[in-house]
A = this chain, B = another copy of it.
Amino acid sequence: MTLQRESLPKARRGRRPGAGSTRQAVLDAARARFASDGFGATTIRRVAADAGVDVSQVMQFFRSKDELFAAVMSVPASALERFNTAFEGPDEHLGERVVRAYLAAWEGPALDSEPLMAMLRGAIVNDHARAQLRDFIQSRLLHGASGRSGDDAALRAGLASSMLVGIVTSRRIIGVPVLVAADTEKLVATVAPAIQRILVGAPSQTDWVKGAGA
């Protein structure tokens, strides 16, 4: 036991990186602020106040406002995986699965949706956010294009992704009344057939959504 670290060249002494509760508090406050106020309107001072921490602490843990934003905005792996599985399944009900995945991702629990909201709100003013959103839409293509019909499968997947992001934006950021008022099932029932048509070219007369009856 005594010679456990003996061989290490530099045994670091002193206070170990603490429990990290402060850093986590800053991260939580920043995620909420960036998601609801956007990148430009979010100030480091406000984040620090929300976390009950000095301004300078924020700069010590995350070196700049951009790095703090980058730490917050990363698309959670869990959400990413759900998108992939939605795209990978069989063609039948593909549109419905994809629409549900997008709506769920942006309306689910805060820990999953807030980073996506921050990305969406920051995409216009922050280069990193714009690149991330671009890659997010673009990356759907790789999963959407594999094994799908035409050579334009990538374009189709990108279009579907853009359209669904547009719907989420209108609903959650712009606040278009008709979309805000509509419940999720109604949206799925209406949008799923169109997305299905975008992704797999062929039209059909069967019902696309399980319980979509009027």
Contact = CB atoms under 8 A, between A and B. Distances in A.
- Chain A at the B interface: mostly helix, strand, loop or mixed? helix
A27 B213 CA distance: 52
Pick the most buried of A155, A178, A190: most chain B CB atoms within 10 A of its CB.
Answer: A178
Interface stretch (A10-18, A107-115, A133-141): A133-141
B176 A134 contact: yes
Contact of A167 (B134, B150, B163, B187): B163
Contact of A155 (B124, B159, B179): B179
Interface residues of A, number: 51
Contacts of A159: 167, 179, 187, 190-191
A190 B137 contact: no
Nearest to A167: B162
Nearest to A166: B166
A197 interface: yes
A131 to B, nearest CB: 9
A182 interface: yes
Interface in A151-199: 152, 154-156, 158-159, 161-167, 169-171, 173-179, 182, 186-187, 190-191, 193-195, 197-198
Interface in A101-140: 121, 123-125, 130, 133-134, 137-138
Interface of A: 38, 40-41, 121, 123-125, 130, 133-134, 137-138, 141, 150, 152, 154-156, 158-159, 161-167, 169-171, 173-179, 182, 186-187, 190-191, 193-195, 197-198, 203-205, 214
Given A123-B174, A152-B190, 20 more contacts: A41-B125, A124-B124, A130-B174, A130-B175, A137-B176, A138-B176, A138-B177, A138-B178, A150-B214, A155-B179, A155-B182, A163-B166, A165-B170, A166-B166, A166-B167, A191-B198, A193-B197, A194-B195, A194-B197, A194-B198
